[in-house]
């Protein structure tokens, strides 16, 4: 299984990249982790340079939802692709 991390500047970019991902037979996930400007400044080396754990409480719920969705898709697609290949 491959996981792709994409950086998109706005919703239009995200939707465009999602369409490309589907064409490449990647499964779209419903949830995403967005790190806002204030959080970026806290962890970026040119900002405060804090460890990512400093914003863990902010991004954890989104990350958990995203990874739960990713695991669900992985389970479904692995079984489906195995059945089709057999």
Domain total for the chain? 1
Q: Residue 70's domain spans which residues? A: 11-85
Query: Is residue 61 assigned to a domain?
Result: yes
Query: Is residue 35 assigned to a domain?
Result: yes
pTM, two decimals, is: 0.64
Which of 35, 52, 34 lies closest to 43, judged by CA?
52
Query: Is residue 67 assigned to a domain?
Result: yes
Place of tokens 């779209």: 28
Structure-block tokens of residue 52: 């990512």
Query: Is residue 30 assigned to a domain?
Result: yes
Q: pLDDT digit of tens for each residue in the chain (86 aa)? A: 455 555 556 666 777 777 787 777 777 778 888 888 889 899 888 889 999 899 999 999 999 999 999 899 889 888 888 888 87
Query: Is residue 52 assigned to a domain?
Result: yes
**What dihedral angle (degrees, nearest 10) is formed by the CA atoms of 57, 63, 69, 75?**
-110
């Amino acid at each position: 299984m491959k996981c792709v991390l994409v950086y998109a500047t706005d919703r239009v970019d995200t939707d465009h990249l999602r369409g490309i991902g589907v064409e490449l037979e990647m499964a779209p996930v419903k949830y995403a982790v967005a790190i806002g400007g204030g959080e970026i400044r806290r962890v970026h080396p040119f900002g405060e340079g804090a460890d990512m754990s400093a914003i863990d409480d902010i991004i954890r719920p989104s990350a958990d939802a995203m990874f739960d969705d990713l695991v669900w898709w992985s389970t479904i697609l692995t079984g489906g692709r195995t059945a089709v290949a057999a």
